[in-house]
Every structure is written in structure tokens, then in C-alpha cells.
Amino acid sequence: MQLTVIGVGPGDSELLTIKAVRMIKEADVILVPVKKEGSTNSTALSIAKPYIEDMDKVQYLYFPMIDCDENKNYVNTIFKGNGEKINRQLQEGKKMVYLTLGDPMIYSTFTYISQYLDGVQYIPGIPSFLNGAALSKSPLCIGKESMAVVNMTDDEDTIKQVFNLHDSIVVMKVCTNQKLLKNLIEQGKRNAIFMSNIGLDNEHFTTDINYLDEKVPYFTIGIIR
């Protein structure tokens, strides 16, 4: 059997693909990542919940939200353990799915354990920045414009280089370096729109650069042009 990794999109349950919904309904086991050991709080699960008929199928996998480079041995032990748990159930012939926010290939927690698994297939989901662009009616690139996706956890030189090279920039994990982001937007005299908690009940959009003066929610992205 193979594990199917499903991108559940940015928050709106109606944005899951038909194939994703079918695989969730057919699964024997539904795996979801959580930030704390013993927790059952999962945004990915809440998005897919309308399509889960039996919550007893849900299993929670702990993924520590810490720097993987600084805590390499510890996190690798956790990731390997998660992989072994999945492999055991796959060998029993169980049909399993793993739910991840957005798309499985863009900053997904799953990538940390994929190396420990025997067989995986993927179902794409809508990334938050594509949904945000649609909701805010903000084209990501036009004509010959270039576009880049940058994570604010990157080093400053890399981020600055992206701003120097590209016309349109999607900024992920805005909350990790708001001061630098604000400086680059102001220095380049660029336009920006910030989107927090896209697809969730507390969704928020703003073009006010001063939004960065206060700590923004974890699920905040920016589109810079």
C-alpha cells in the first residue's frame, strides 16, 4: 500500500479537490500533524473534517516547531519515529492519508519524514498565496514579469537579492522578520498587500505597511509588487 499525502488548501473546505475528498473518505487511517505532543488541535484536520465520517480513523503525529538545524538529533528521532509508525501500518495493508496545509510540495511538514517512508503519492492543494491572490484580486505576475517565493526565515542577503531581482514577490512566514520586510518594501517604494489566516474565520487583508509594526499572526503572507 501507498501513503497518500493530501494538500487540504489554505482554509476553505470547499477548495479541496474531488480526488482529495474521495481519498479521505476511502482511508482506513487519517494522519494529521500537531505542534504539541498529545494535542488534537490541527488546522489541516479542521479543514478536512466535513469529509471525515469516522473521527476514530484520525491519528495525530507530533512535529516539533523548533529549528531543525539547531536540534538536528532530536527532531530526526521524532521524524524517523513517525515514519516507522506509518510504515508499520502500511505493511498491515491499511489505506492511509496524511493531511497537510496548502500544497504538499510547498513548506510542508511532511517533507521532513518522506525519506523514511517506503511509498508515497501526492494530491496537490491550493497554496495560501494563490488563494490570497484570488481573494484580493492581485495578479501575481503579468507579461514578462518574474515572480519569486521567499521565506522570511532565510538569511538577509538572500531575501535582499530576491527583492533586487524580481518584479513580484510572495513572502511566506512574514512574522519571522517583519522589520526587514518593512524596510525592503519602503526602500524599493513597492506596493504590498498582507493576508493573515486566509480561508479561516479570522481572515484579514490590509495594504497598510504599518501592519508590520505589531506582531502579525503566524499564518500571514505578503504579495509585494
* b/e burial code for range 95-132 (CB count within 10 A of at least 16 → b): ebbbbbbbbbebbbbbebbbebbeebebbbbbbbbbbb
* Confidence (pLDDT) at 4: 97
- pLDDT above 90 covers a percentage of the chain that reads 76
pLDDT tens profile 4-30: 999 999 999 999 999 999 999 999 999
- Radius of gyration for the chain, computed over Cα atoms and rounded to the nearest angstrom: 19
Q: What is the pLDDT of residues 79-121, one digit of tens each?
A: 888 889 999 999 999 999 999 999 999 988 898 888 888 789 9
Residue in this structure with the C-alpha cell 471525515, named with its chain if needed: 52
